[in-house]
A and B are shown apart, each in its own frame.
Chain A
Amino acid sequence: MQTQVQTETTPVLEIRKLTQRFGGLTAVNDFNVRLMPGELTGLIGPNGAGKTTVFNLVSGFYQPTEGEILVDGVPTAGLRPHKVTALGAARTFQNIRLWNDMTVLDNIRVAQHYQLGYGFFHSVVRSKRYKEREAEIAKEASELLEVFDLQRYAEELPKNLPYGTQRKLEIARALSSHPKLLLLDEPAAGLNSSDVLELIRLVRWIHEKFDVTIWMIEHHMDVMMELATQIKVIDFGETIAEGTPDHIRNHPAVITAYLGDDNI
């Protein structure tokens, strides 16, 4: 009981005084964020503002120069990305990174590595534990595909799917690790307008159905305005504004930095 109460009160993601320098360049400067369970937050900023760097720091690809990142209350300092994912922070990429020569089903199955529960020798002797786990993994994977309405593509290769479906599959794959926090890096990039509408529906549906906290980078302002309850704006690694979409829309600093001096 006690642990349950604790998880309800700890933020899913907490970033304190995060600074990242690449040589002389400060990509992220004194960045703070607290995401409580169930939030759907946005992160925007002009190109090169440091958005993806923040995501890369959270998922463990870079070790921060200064500051602290806590995923579900656990500091991630020194953890490799696969460990961070096991803590409950999954992500997608700006350019789709699926395993293109593995079937759709295998793409989902391999993402279960964090809770595989068996090793090399089990896989060779096909022990009881191996068989149980493989059956569970296969069941879970096909259930997930069914939920995402991707079941009919199960034996297809991802490279043969339409772009929008690939996006969907990548999000499904990220969710197969049962994350508490889902980082979406420009999910609408490269989608046409009808796909974008579908994506908005999909993200909202995921947010409710999977009970997951979502933090999203996105350039499509309509996606952001539609989905996010809170938006944080960064430029040159500094936080320049944060608040509700309406607040951000009219914030003078945002208009100057992100949308330019002209009218939208």
Chain B
Amino acid sequence: MKKYSLNVLLVLFAVGLLFAAHYRVIDSYIQIVAMTIGINIMMSTSLNLVNGNMGEFTCGHAAFMCVGAYVSSILSVLCFGSKFGDPLLPAASVVLVFPLILLIGGVVAAVSSLLVSVPSFKTRDDYLAIISIAVNYMIISALENMDFIGGSRGFQGMKDTVWSMIDIFDGPWMLFWVITFTFFTIWVIRRFISSTYGKGVNAICQDEVAAEIMSVNTNKIKIINFMVAAGLAGCAGGLYAHIIGYVNPQSFNILKSTEAMVMVYLGGMGSLSGAVISAILFTCLLEVLRSQAIVDALLSPVTLMFPDWEPSAGVIKWVMIPLLLVIVMQFRPEGIMGNRELSDVFPWLKKFYRFK
């Protein structure tokens, strides 16, 4: 029973968060931060499957998020919105249909990952990185040139779906879905990666030739692994689209992919708990650096020397975060956790949860 105490604790925390949000104990800003943390956890843990566990080097993870965001947005507008004519489904079914919409977005994103996984049969490392960047650009450019979904102006109307959920019950619905899907992501990844089947992914990372000769169907495992990673990123994209209520191809460009990579390398390659921790830290750091007062305080020694310079938080953020990455790579290149899980660092945690 004790082994499940961490699960129970997490569920209690999630329920507590939902109640706090419902009774306005935490304001909508905190809610947005919490949802961003959830989405970032989904992005970093799913990218960790490819870049950490499989040891490939891909830098186009936002492309799959983009596919998921667009597919689920279009479906959601078709089903519950009025943009493309009358809604296809009655508004009462929204609570059941919405997770399906997100999952379909994930499935389409998973299929789109074939664009990277098929070339990965023969290419590795830098060459695969270039392919993944190219795929990122391909998907963004394709969407920018589709005028019927707004092209580069972006696409909106997903808020109708969220409103119909609120019509049924006035509560923090998006927070609920983000929490559910974050748990779902970690659940899927942990179970996949700890099975003998999923350990084939680690075998590919450590010695692909040996994996192939020891009867691991490397091509199939690569496809599956890319599909799981891209599918979960697609779900994250769908959630993101419905929280913001607006998607634009450029919000999934290389900068977004880099964010996911920073989280993976910060957390430690191949460490699931590391990816979760770094996603939380990274999101909080981004929020802290958004405050002009804190940025001014941090930069006060510099601004004293250059009184004419008035740094803006939005710009400085993107100096600070890459700098953080430089520092981490210099002094702790294996990331916060290395390839270890929390239970390897704190063995007493094993009593409360099975990490592997």
Give the residues in chain A near B217, CB-CB below 8 Å.
80, 82, 113
Minimum distance in angstroms from B50 CB to a CB of chain A: 15
Q: B195 touches which one: A99, A134, A173 (CB < 8 A)?
A: A134
B224 touches A106 (CB 8 A): no
Interface membership of B141, Cβ < 8 A: no
Report the separation of the CA atoms of residues A99 and B210 in the bound assembly, to the nearest whole angstrom. 8
List residues 81-122 of chain A with CB under 8 A from any CB of chain B: 81-82, 85-86, 90-91, 93, 97-102, 106, 109-114, 116, 118-120, 122
A59 within 8 A of B: yes
B250: CB under 8 A from chain A? no
Contacts A120-B192, A123-B191 hold; do A114 and B215 have CB atoms under 8 A apart? Answer: yes
Bound-state CA distance A126–B188 (Å) is 10
Assess whether A93 is in contact with B210, with CB atoms less than 8 Å apart.
Answer: yes
> Which of B16-24, B145-153, B201-209, B311-319 lies at the binding interface?
B201-209
With contacts defined as CB atoms under 8 Å apart, how many contacts are there between chain A and chain B in the complex? 97
Given known pairs A98-B210, A110-B203, the reply for A82 and B339 (CB within 8 Å) is no
A230 adjacent to chain B (CB < 8 Å): no
B304 to chain A, nearest CB (A): 49
Which of A101, A113, A137 lies in contact with B202, CB distance below 8 A? Answer: A101
Cβ of B216 within 8 Å of any chain A Cβ, yes or no, is: yes
Task: Say whether A80 contacts B212, CB under 8 Å.
Answer: yes
A to B CB contacts below 8 Å, 13 in the list: A93-B209, A93-B213, A99-B210, A110-B196, A110-B203, A110-B214, A116-B196, A118-B197, A120-B197, A120-B228, A123-B197, A124-B192, A173-B214
Identity of the chain A residue whose Cβ is nearest the Cβ of B216 in the assembled complex: A113
Please name the residue on chain B nearest to A134 by beta carbon: B196
**B199, CB-defined interface residue at 8 Å:** yes
Interface 1/0 per residue, A150-164 and B, CB below 8 Å: 000000000000000
A130 on the interface (CB 8 Å rule)? yes
Contact (A99, B213) CB under 8 Å given A120-B228, A134-B195: no
Q: Is B200 an interface residue (CB 8 A)?
A: yes
**Do A123 and B214 touch (CB < 8 A)?**
no
Would A177 and B206 count as touching, CB distance under 8 A?
no
Closest A residue by C-beta to B225: A120
On B, residues with C-beta under 8 Å from A are 187-188, 191-192, 195-200, 202-203, 206-207, 209-219, 224, 228, 339
Most buried by A among B199, B200, B218, B339: B199
Number of interface residues of A (CB under 8 A): 38
Chain A residue contacts of B206, Cβ below 8 A:
99-102
Cα(A113)–Cα(B201), bound, Å: 11
Q: Which residue of A lies closest to B208 (CB)?
A: A97
Q: Tell me the complex Cα distance, A124–B207, Å.
A: 25
Closest to B199 in A: A110
What residues of chain A lie closer than 8 Å to B339, measured between beta carbons? 101
Interface centre among B192, B217, B219, B228 (most CB of A within 10 A): B217
Q: What residues of B have a CB within 8 angstroms of the CB of A102 in the complex? A: 199, 202-203, 206
Contact present for B212 and A82 (CB under 8 Å): yes
Instruction: Apart from A102-B202, A123-B192, A124-B188, list 15 A-B contacts with CB within 8 A.
Output: A82-B214, A82-B216, A91-B213, A97-B209, A99-B203, A110-B200, A111-B214, A111-B215, A112-B215, A113-B197, A120-B192, A122-B197, A123-B197, A126-B191, A134-B195
User: Which residue of chain A lies nearest to B196 when distances are taken between CB atoms in the complex?
Assistant: A109
Per CB-CB distance, the 3 closest pairs between chain A and chain B, nearest first, are A114-B215, A123-B195, A97-B210
Q: Report the minimal beta-carbon distance from A123 to chain B, rounded to whole angstroms.
A: 4
Whether the Cβ atoms of B198 and A81 lie closer than 8 Å is no
Say yes or no: A113 contacts B215, CB within 8 Å: yes
A85 close to B203 (CB less than 8 A):
no
Measured CA separation A173–B203 after assembly (Å): 13
